[in-house]
Structure 1
Amino acid sequence: MPALLHRVKSKLFIHAHRRVRGMLDGEYRSVFQGRSLDFDDLRQYAPGDEIKDIDWKATARHGSPLVKRFIANRKHQVLFVVDTGRDFAAVAESGRQKSEVAVLAVGVLGFLAVRHGDLVSLVAGDAESIETLPPAGTEGGLERLLQRIDRRSSADAPRSDLDRLLGHVTRAVHKRSLVVIVADDDEFSEQRVHLLRRLHAQHEVLWVSVGDADLMRRDYTWREMTDVEGGALLPSFVRNDAALRDEFEASVAVLSERHVDMLESLGISSRRITGDDDVIPALFRLLEAHRHARR
């Protein structure tokens, strides 16, 4: 089986020149700058403390604002939460399989984490099973993580169920982490919003969505397109309809804007990735947006 991390490194070093790589390193480092991840105790609120560090339940009991204090540590944990249901066997906007784009995105962030001495772990799953890989701080551990994402994401996999996956993370992951959610383009349910709000209260959360292919594109009209969810064939006469093509493009734009607005309202930075060439600039913008959002 080919080494997936080798492909990640090739993409990173060929398509990102030295200055961009340095900036990407700097943006990653800034995510943890001045903030530790292990809870220690509570203390009185002081001017300048972050509002998100206030323990509201303890404050209500005590009668005055109390903030959580954390133990400084050098090793941080980056937890990748990846939807590996059959939706990720579909084609991304660039024409590549979504799982390939997801592997590249996770690989770049994971490689940055390992280089900085941090730990990477994985929670991957679908509607039938959820799998967890324990934290690792080596390239070998990262390679195993990438291989697991690639192996699970196939057209034969069970259907996707991101809400089930997020629910598992809220219950099972107690150590404060940088949680990177890699998901499909999809509508946000009320349950998902509730779960994300809970995750954001405990962890640093980033959201990466892999954009759906525009099946109405003119250069796709010669290809046979099948829905991975139900196996239905999308007729060519539908894809050749100009009015339907315009309506589809408009609906994608509206959905993307709605996603961004919803995540921003929850305090979660997000980026939509369309393909391999979009991964590095999109991740740079994601980390940069997160750094500014936390100030």
Structure 2
Amino acid sequence: MAQLLQKVKSKMFIFAHRKARGMLDGEYDAIFRGRSLDFDDLRAYVPGDEIRDIDWKATARHGAPLIKRYVAVRKQSVLLVADTGRNMAAVAGGGEPKKDIMVMALGVIGYLALKHNDTVGLVYGDADATTAIPARGTEGHLESILQRVDSSTTLEAGSSNLIAQLEYIAKNIRQRRLIFVVADEHPVSPELERLLRRLRAQHELLWLVISDADLAHGEALLRESFDVHRRDTVVSLLAKDPQLAAAYAEAVQKRREDIEQLMSRQAIPLEWLGHSEEVMSTLFSLLERQRRARR
């Protein structure tokens, strides 16, 4: 069986020689610096407190602003969230299987966590089932997580339904986490926005979208493609009908704009990724976005 974590380390080693060594490591560290905390109790708001720490429900009951007070904890726990539905077995924008890019991205964040003595857990699944793996702090555990994601993401899996995995987290994960989500271009809905608002109030969220292949332009326009969601072949009607191709491209652009706007409203750092060669630079940008958002 291929050692997936070793592939991740090799990719990081190459990146470290192309960029300043430790940049990714430093960005990860900056996210939790001064915030290695767990909820303790409530106290009255005083000028200078962070607005994000206001407990709005308790404030409404009390009649005056109340702040969540935290106590320090020794370690952080990073929760990796993987969409392992069959949508992620499709080809990404750069021509690679989406799941290969997802495994690499999860591995990088997971390895950074281990280097900082943090623990790593996993929530993954599709529309049929959601599974959670408790957090641990060993490379062997991270390897098993990556292997689980890799073997679960197949064309025989259920369809992607990230809402199911987010619902599980909202109901079962109480302790504060850094949640790193890797997903398909999931359609925006009121239910998704409700879940993100709820999770954002309790956790740190980072969001990475593995982009779809572009079927409306270039060589892809001339090929027949397999729709993994419907499990059938898509006849190349787009190549025969310019108006249909234009409408398809417009719909894709609208969906992506909706995702961008949703994450902006919820103040969740978002990046798009289409090829494994972009994993390191994209994750650096994502971590930097989070660091700047917390200033």
Moved more, 250-259 or 39-48: 250-259
Q: Are 1:233 and 2:233 counterparts?
A: yes
SS at match of 1:194: helix
The answer as to whether partners of 2:36 and 2:75 remain within 8 angstroms in 1 is no
How far apart, in 2, do the equivalents of 1:232 and 1:156 lie?
13
Q: Is the 8 A contact 2:82 2:181 kept in 1?
A: yes
| Partners of 1:34 and 1:240 in 2: CA distance | 58
255-264 or 14-23, which deviates more: 14-23
Corresponding residue for residue 160 of structure 1: 160
Alignment of 1:208 with 2:239, yes or no, is no
* Contact 2:90–2:98 under 8 Å retained in 1: yes
For 1:202, what is the secondary structure of its paired residue? coil
How far off its partner does 1:240 sit?
Answer: 5.7
In 2, the alpha carbon distance for the partners of 1:130 and 1:275 equals: 26
* 1:264 matched residue in structure 2: 264
Does the alignment pair 1:84 with 2:73?
A: no
> Percent same amino acid among aligned pairs?
47
The answer for unaligned runs of 5 or more in structure 2 is: none
TM-score scaled by structure 1?
0.94
* Aligned-pair CA distance for 1:221: 5.2
Determine the structure 2 residue equivalent to 1:55: 55
| Paired letter, 1:36 | S
In the TM superposition, residue 246 of structure 1 has moved relative to its aligned partner by 4.4
Of residues 75-84 and 252-261 in structure 1, the stretch that sits farther from structure 2 once superposed is 252-261
State the shift of 1:220 in Å.
3.0
Residue 190 (structure 1) aligns with: 190
In structure 2, C-alpha distance between the alignment counterparts of 1:237 and 1:185, rounded to whole Å: 22
More moved, 102-111 vs 68-77: 68-77
- Given that 1:218 and 1:240 are in contact with CA atoms closer than 8 Å, whether structure 2 keeps it comes out as no
Q: Where has structure 1 moved over 6 Å in runs of 4 or more?
A: none
> How large is the RMSD of aligned CA atoms in angstroms?
1.7
Q: What is the CA–CA distance in structure 2 between the aligned matches of 1:146 and 1:63, rounded to whole Å?
A: 47
Residues 16 and 280 of structure 1 are in contact (CA less than 8 Å); yes or no, is this contact kept in structure 2?
no
Structure-2 residue corresponding to 1:41:
41
Matched AA of 1:275: H
TM-score (norm 2): 0.94
**Cα 1:72–1:211, aligned 2, differ >3 Å: closer, same or farther?**
same
Q: In structure 2, how many angstroms separate the alpha carbons of the residues matched to 1:73 and 1:21?
A: 28
State how far apart, in whole Å, the 1-side matches of 2:180 and 2:209 are: 10
CA distance in structure 1 between the partners assigned to 2:143 and 2:40 by the alignment: 33
Note if 1:148 corresponds to 2:112.
no
2:222 and 2:62 map into 1 onto residues whose CA distance is 67
Cα drift, residue 124 of structure 1: 0.3
**1: CA distance, partners of 2:77 / 2:240:** 48
